[in-house]
């Protein structure tokens, strides 16, 4: 019965998820992904400070499903279904199909239904890491050289998304048992991916641009933001377990089930226990090493919790024991599973959409999770969509738009290209000194060479990484401010965006 209910919740969630808008991160990745589809490369043609695999994945998704929010959502759903299919197939091959199915379902619950956390590359990477762990665990005698090389490719892709994902490597050492031939194939697969990536950038003369964005910018400003204290360190260490963002009720339930599942696996399969435990520890380390504490940063750890939780539930469903201890454990597992179905975040995302679709909730109420609830991050999709619609209606498709603000999603929604590789202003406001000065000079040169038909200034995008709004930061960029005042006129404004159109000749 619980599986039937779970399937119904997934089917109810699916249209709700596809209808959700994108958030800030996804908009930035889509901006760079579109540049790749246009024949360019990250950093050279579109600046962003994450590794190039991030943007390559988005380019693949947009190429397959379209350069729209719906296309990206479809790609995200396709990868989620592929992950669940993979866990089921691996479980079935080892005689544990129910466990494999439950693992995929629990991972989906762990990801949650919030629009800010879905379609994140860390989630997709967690899927790949989990499947790698399960393949090395469940198929130790049949793991082919190609599969080992694929595991190495996954590790390399993770490192090319964020370098700190190299911390996942010890999991492979545990799984392979230090067998040097297996490790050589893993290393070969990883080296092939990294070597090919750097070869592409070298051929395009872009190694310097890659180094400037991923290394110089990150080490010089991005990772040094904020002040350090004992309380902040303790918060980073504990937060992934104790209060992991809005999905905390579901994660607490999965943690309770995972403890039961881990204890059962310890008694029945020590090798599996150590592979999954090492993966959870490595996932925890990669999460906290990103220092900002966003929920999806620890998704690999939560994916392992899902596998342990599936062990507890599948064992309870098939266990024939009738001693008191077994009955109490099975009763507790059944109760916790019911609680999980009630508190899971995808259910509430589905309810929000269906109530709006059936006329039980107004558009303003439906949009609250995408606007009013994101005010502390300076994001409101309703206002972004209105500004983007005005730009789209007021300019020709071939004309350009420049955004001075954080939400590069404006480019995707307005369907307008940028005259500069800086589709959002973080390279400037997230840095200082000569680095920021050089980027300002580059922006002004690009605007002079390819004058945009519209310039959009964001008003309320102050967040945990940008202490000033774009409007406030514009005061420190007099060249851009002067250009707007001299050559542009204000044509549209809402509380978060002001659109300036170029004056006629």
Distance CA 239, CA 234 (A): 8
Q: What 8-state DSSP symbol labels residue 374? A: G
pTM for this entry: 0.93
Question: What pLDDT score does 453 carry?
Answer: 97
Query: pLDDT tens for residues 115-143?
Result: 888 999 999 999 999 999 999 887 655 56
Question: What pLDDT score does 223 carry?
Answer: 46
Distance CA 210, CA 22 (A): 26
Radius of gyration of the chain (CA): 24
Distance CA 402, CA 452 (A): 6
Query: pLDDT tens for residues 254-303?
Result: 898 999 999 999 999 999 999 999 999 999 999 888 877 778 889 999 99
| pLDDT band for position 49 (cuts 50, 70, 90) | very high
Question: Which are the contacts of 67, defined by CB distance < 8 A and separation ≥ 6?
Answer: 30, 33, 34, 37, 412
Distance CA 331, CA 324 (A): 10
Question: What pLDDT score does 326 carry?
Answer: 64
Share above pLDDT 70 across residues of the chain, in percent, rounded to a whole number? 89
Residue 324 has pLDDT above 60, yes or no: no
Query: pLDDT tens for residues 337-364?
Result: 666 766 678 888 889 999 999 999 999 9
Distance CA 218, CA 50 (A): 9
Give the distance between the most distant pair of CA atoms in the chain: 88
**Cβ distance 480 to 443 under 8 Å?**
yes
At residue 455, what are phi and psi to the nearest 5 degrees? -120, 130
The CATH class of the 374-502 domain is: alpha beta
Distance CA 61, CA 82 (A): 14
**Cβ distance 413 to 385 under 8 Å?**
yes
Query: pLDDT tens for residues 366-389?
Result: 999 999 888 888 899 999 999 999
Domain boundaries, the chain: 2-349, 374-502
Query: pLDDT tens for residues 81-122?
Result: 999 999 999 999 888 898 999 999 999 988 987 888 899 999
Q: What 8-state DSSP symbol labels residue 142? A: T
Q: What does 136-194 look like in DSSP terms, one character per residue?
A: HHH-TTT--HHHHHHHHHHHHHHHHH-GGGGGGHHHHHHHHTT-HHHHHHHHHHHHHHH
Dihedral sign, Cα of residue 76, residue 77, residue 78, residue 79: positive
Question: What pLDDT score does 227 carry?
Answer: 58
């Amino acid at each position: 019965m619980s599986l039937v209910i779970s399937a119904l919740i997934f089917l109810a969630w699916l249209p709700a998820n596809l209808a959700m808008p994108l958030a800030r991160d996804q908009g930035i990745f889509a901006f760079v992904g579109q540049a790749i589809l246009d024949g360019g490369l990250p950093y050279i043609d579109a600046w962003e400070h994450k590794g190039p695999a991030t943007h390559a994945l988005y380019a693949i998704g947009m190429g397959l499903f379209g350069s729209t929010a719906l296309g990206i959502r479809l790609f995200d759903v396709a990868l989620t279904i592929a992950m669940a299919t993979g866990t089921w197939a691996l479980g079935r091959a080892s005689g544990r199909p129910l466990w494999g199915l439950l693992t995929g379902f629990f991972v989906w619950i762990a990801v949650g239904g919030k629009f800010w956390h879905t379609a994140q590359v860390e989630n997709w990477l967690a899927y790949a890491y989990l499947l790698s762990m399960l393949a090395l665990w469940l198929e130790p005698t049949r793991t082919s050289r190609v599969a080992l090389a694929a595991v190495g490719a996954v590790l390399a892709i993770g490192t090319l998304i964020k370098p700190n994902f190299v911390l996942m490597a010890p999991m492979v050492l545990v799984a392979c048992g230090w067998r040097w031939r297996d490790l050589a194939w893993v290393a070969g697969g990883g080296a092939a991916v990294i070597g090919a990536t750097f070869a592409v950038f070298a051929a395009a003369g872009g190694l310097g641009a890659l180094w400037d964005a991923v290394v110089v910018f990150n080490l010089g400003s991005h990772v040094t933001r904020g002040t350090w204290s004992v309380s902040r360190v303790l918060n980073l260490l504990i937060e992934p377990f104790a209060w992991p963002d809005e999905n905390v009720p579901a994660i607490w339930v999965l943690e309770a089930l995972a403890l039961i599942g881990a204890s059962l696996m310890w008694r029945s399969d020590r090798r599996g226990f150590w592979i999954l435990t090492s993966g959870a520890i490595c996932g925890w380390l990669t999460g906290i090493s990103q220092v900002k504490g966003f929920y999806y940063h620890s998704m690999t750890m939560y994916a392992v919790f899902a596998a342990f939780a599936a062990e507890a539930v599948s064992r309870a469903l098939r266990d024939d024991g009738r001693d008191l201890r077994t009955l109490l454990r099975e009763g507790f597992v059944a109760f916790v599973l019911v609680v999980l179905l009630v508190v899971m975040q995808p259910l509430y995302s589905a309810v929000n959409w269906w109530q709006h679709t059936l006329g039980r909730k107004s558009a303003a109420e439906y949009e609250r999770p995408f606007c009013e609830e994101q005010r502390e991050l300076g994001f409101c999709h309703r206002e972004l969509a209105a500004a983007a619609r005005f730009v789209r209606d007021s300019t020709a498709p071939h004309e350009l738009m420049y955004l001075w603000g954080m939400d590069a999603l404006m480019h995707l929604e307005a369907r307008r290209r940028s005259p500069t590789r800086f589709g959002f202003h973080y390279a400037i406001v997230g840095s200082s000194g000569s680095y920021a000065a050089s980027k300002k000079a580059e922006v002004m040169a690009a605007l002079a060479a390819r004058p945009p038909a519209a310039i959009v200034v964001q008003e309320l995008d102050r967040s945990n990484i940008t202490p000033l709004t774009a409007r406030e930061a514009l005061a420190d960029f007099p060249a851009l401010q002067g250009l707007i005042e001299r050559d542009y006129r204000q044509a549209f404004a809402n509380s978060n965006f002001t659109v300036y159109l170029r004056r006629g000749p």
